[in-house]
Amino acid sequence: MLDLPVPKLRGGKYVIVESEPDWYVKQVMENFVVRAEAIRNGGVDTGSDNFLKITHEARLLGTDARLLEPDAPNNPDSKLNKVVENVAAEYFQHNVDVNIGCQLVFSDIGTPKNAWSMDWKPGGEFDVYNYVKSELVKRGIPAEEIAFIHDAKTDAQRDTLFKEMRTGKKKILIGSTDKCGTGVNVQTHLVAMHHIDCPWKPSSIEQREGRGIRQGNENDEVAVYRYVTKQTFDAYSWSLVENKQRFISQVMTSKSVSRTCEDIDEATLSYAEIKAVATGNPLIKEKMQLENDVQRLKLLKNSYDSQRYSLQDNYLLRYPKLIKAAGEKLTCVKEDIKAAEQAMLSETEFAITVGKAVFTERVDGGTVMLEAISKCKTGEITAIGSFKGFELLVEKNFIGVNYLVLRGKTDYKAELSTSPIGNMIKLENLFGSLQENVEFLEKRMEQYQRDLEESKAEYEKPFEQDLELVEKTARLNELNAALDLENKVADVDLAGQDNRVAEHTLYPQRVI
């Protein structure tokens, strides 16, 4: 596999930027709980409101409340405002003198409804792209250096846009996973990438980040920002996808895989999950971590079970059969050695029988043998004579490699040559080296016996993580019951759970 040079994550970590929800977001989340409870109780026509609709709206809310209600307040600590701050900071840090630093900003939510203009103002139908660009322009970034992937509507326009990114004429490209994922070659000067939203599938994250963390980027490091709004489905969505990606990575790198795994599809929150996310219930974080751990442990257990079946087959069937077969062949070889020793006493001079003729000269015997071989059919083993009491045969193969076979109680082979004398020398060497087969078979039987014993010892070893799997599965079941994931309503006393909930580091790095 080629080890091509690619940039590393700056600092070895993703930059996780958390935003605090304002009063309006909290109010909407509380309203989601009321709606979810009404749906659960059957008092709402599912055609007008349902969990999927709430999930979609919760995802929009996690990005910016104005995607739901254009007149919603602009939270200074919102995700989009932090995106603007970080993009601007990266821009002014890396575009100094002759240096060029380009960035990619990803969002599948709030794609542009209209082209950006200097007169654009938030209002009407709010979209993420126009807002981010307008705020960046206010901070002094030239509008002509910021592009939307959606503005390039033809292949020629896309090629031009990508070339402008590679040369630094455009320095910020905002796009969606579909339009700015696979096939986008703009990595030359990329210094940072920003995930405004979280895609549904881990493969989409990989597509996004593959635009910058790839060969051809002149930078040694690339910063990757992931933006999260607390106490919204936004944070829960990242947890889902990150846990799923860890599980997929374990499957892909496992030496023994006994199950398959698919990317998650669009998730729909249940009533209890909506309620838990809205209230900031820490049990949700524990549940996400436990689900990943249980999946990982089950995978290891399946691999362990599969390996045990193979080990059991090894020490009960495979190696006993191999030992028996090698022992039987060893007996045959020893009998052939005795027969060869007697033949050497009775036939002290060289003599070979080809067909019905006996030859005492090696050149004559070898020449006639080659003639006989030329008449043998390919793909068959044909008897052509005898040598010192052993049957002499020829094995002709379609692959062009032919063998001389000396047959007593068992067979002994040597590759044929085109030289008459050479074949006679090979025949005599084959006859004189029968004892070597004894040593080979004895060592082989010893190895089989060691392999049998090792297989049995490995089979008897217990699954080391069995207790951990049992405990975590039990704890996960407790959490599912407490979080009402089986449609069984229960209010969770967060204060009472504090002493039971361990701290889980959901994000590797925080930027406040």
Domain CATH number, residue 53: 3.40.50.300
- Are 34 and 147 in the same domain? yes
Residues 286 and 280: their CA atoms lie apart, in Å, by 12
Pairing label, strands 102-106, 172-175: parallel
With respect to residue 489, please indicate whether it lies within any of the assigned structural domains.
yes
Q: Are both 161 and 215 inside the same structural domain?
A: yes
Same domain, 18 and 131: yes
Q: Are residues 350 and 499 in the same domain?
A: no
Q: Work out the pLDDT band at 257, boundaries 50, 70, 90.
A: very low
Parent domain of 56: 8-281+483-511
Q: Are residues 115 and 262 in the same domain?
A: yes
- Whole-angstrom distance, CA of residue 339 vs CA of residue 409: 10
More confident call, 296 vs 251: 296
Pair (277, 337) in one structural domain: no
Query: Is the Cβ–Cβ distance between 19 and 76 less than 8 Å?
Result: no
Calculate mean pLDDT across residues 405-414: 94
Residue 444's alpha-carbon distances to 187, 325, 448, 468, in angstroms, are 56, 11, 6, 41
Q: Which two tokens stand for residue 461?
A: 């070893």
pLDDT (0 to 100) of residue 125 = 79
Same-domain pairing of 58 and 156: yes
- From the list 82, 66, 292, 62, the residue with the least C-alpha distance to 198 is 62
Are the beta carbons of 58 and 29 closer than 8 angstroms? yes
Could you count the other beta carbons within 10 Å of the beta carbon of residue 450? 11
Do 347 and 275 lie in a common domain?
A: no
Residues 58/59/65/70 CA torsion (nearest 10 deg): -100
Number of structural domains the chain divides into: 2
Q: Identify whether residues 105 and 241 lie together within a single domain.
A: yes
User: Is 69 inside a domain boundary?
Assistant: yes
Q: What is residue 185's predicted lDDT score, i.e. its pLDDT?
A: 87
Residue 300, domain member (yes or no): no
Domain assignment present for residue 162? The answer is yes
Boundary of a domain, candidates 435, 470, 499: 435
Are both 198 and 336 inside the same structural domain? no
More confidently predicted of 400 and 310: 310
Half-sphere exposure of 138 (CA within 13 A, CB side): 12
The string of pLDDT tens digits covering residues 25-80 is 999 988 988 888 888 888 788 888 888 888 889 889 989 999 999 889 999 999 99
> Is residue 455 in some structural domain?
no
- Residue 317, in any domain of the structure: no
pLDDT digit string (tens) for 445-480? 999 999 999 999 999 999 999 999 999 999 999 888
Q: Looking at the structure, tell me whether residues 190 and 52 fall in a common domain.
A: yes
* Domain contains 34: yes
Final residue of a domain: which of 435, 456, 472? 435
Last residue of some domain: 404, 435, 466?
Answer: 435
In a domain, 478, yes or no: no
Structure tokens at 207: 């597509």
* Whole-number Å distance between alpha carbons of 214 and 31: 44
pTM: predicted TM-score of the whole model, two decimal places:
0.60
d(CA 139, CA 278): 34
Give residue 163's pLDDT: 94
User: Do 112 and 210 fall into the same domain?
Assistant: yes
